[in-house]
Structures are given as structure tokens and as C-alpha cells.
């Protein structure tokens, strides 16, 4: 596609439920990033995938958060046993992965945990 796409655009869930958020990066981009943006705040790095290398998970806030990237393209961010503080916008970005290049962002998934 022309840009990074994410789904769903909005998700409302109950505390304790699991959620899956999907990211489709720009075709050909080998690097993929997940960020979290709380209301009125900046972007918090979560996880980074580069090609077939082991992902950089250093930003994941707890073991309830996990992400995978199948076939080097689509990525899924999973939050288990959601808590109210998980409510935020989850943004995905991709880049060509050659180093020093621009990250292109998707529109985000707005997650609300009741």
C-alpha cells in the first residue's frame, strides 16, 4: 500500500481482556516500530523489528505486552489482561531499514480500556 496502515482504528475493551493490534508497514520496509502515545503526551518507544534479527523489546512496559512480525511484514502487538492504564494511542511506523532514514507512521489505534 501507499502508507502504513493499522487496524482497528479504535478499540474499546474491558479490563482483563486481551487485545491484538495490527500494523501493515509500507511494502519493502524492513524496519518496523511500535510506539505508545498517552493523551497529550509524546511517543513512548515499545519495540523494534529489523529484518530477521531478534526484536529490540527494551521499551515494552510489562510482560503483558508482546509483539510479533510474521514473514517480515505484518506485525501484531498483543496486550494481555488489559489494564485501564493501557488506554492510549498505539502507533506503528516503518522505515527502509538501511540506517538513518525516515520513519513513516500509521494513523494509530486508539485503545480504551474500561
Partner 1 sequence: GQQLNQSPQSMFIQEGEDVSMNCTSSSIFNTWLWYKQDPGEGPVLLIALYKAGELTSNGRLTAQFGITRKDSFLNISASIPSDVGIYFCAGLDNAGNMLTFGGGTRLMVKP
Q: Contact, 23 vs 81, CB < 8 A?
A: no
Member of 21, 31, 46, 67 binding partner 1 (CB under 8 A): 31
18 binds partner 1 (CB under 8 A): no
> Cβ of residue 81: shortest distance to partner 1, in angstroms?
27
33 binds partner 1 (CB under 8 A): yes
108 binds partner 1 (CB under 8 A): yes
- Compute the radius of gyration of the chain from its Cα atoms: 13
Q: Per the structure block, which three cell numbers stand in for 48?
A: 523494534
> Cβ of residue 103: shortest distance to partner 1, in angstroms?
6
Q: Contact, 105 vs 4, CB < 8 A?
A: yes
Amino acid at each position: 500500500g501507499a502508507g502504513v496502515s493499522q487496524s482497528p482504528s479504535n478499540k474499546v475493551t474491558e479490563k482483563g481482556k486481551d487485545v491484538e493490534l495490527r500494523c501493515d508497514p509500507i511494502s519493502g520496509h524492513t524496519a518496523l516500530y511500535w510506539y505508545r502515545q498517552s493523551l497529550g503526551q509524546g511517543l513512548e518507544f515499545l519495540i523494534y523489528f529489523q529484518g530477521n534479527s531478534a526484536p529490540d523489546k527494551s521499551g515494552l512496559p510489562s510482560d503483558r505486552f508482546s509483539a510479533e512480525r510474521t514473514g517480515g511484514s505484518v506485525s501484531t502487538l498483543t496486550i494481555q489482561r488489559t489494564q485501564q492504564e493501557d488506554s492510549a494511542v498505539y502507533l506503528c511506523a516503518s522505515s527502509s531499514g538501511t540506517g538513518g532514514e525516515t520513519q513513516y507512521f500509521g494513523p494509530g489505534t486508539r485503545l480504551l480500556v474500561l
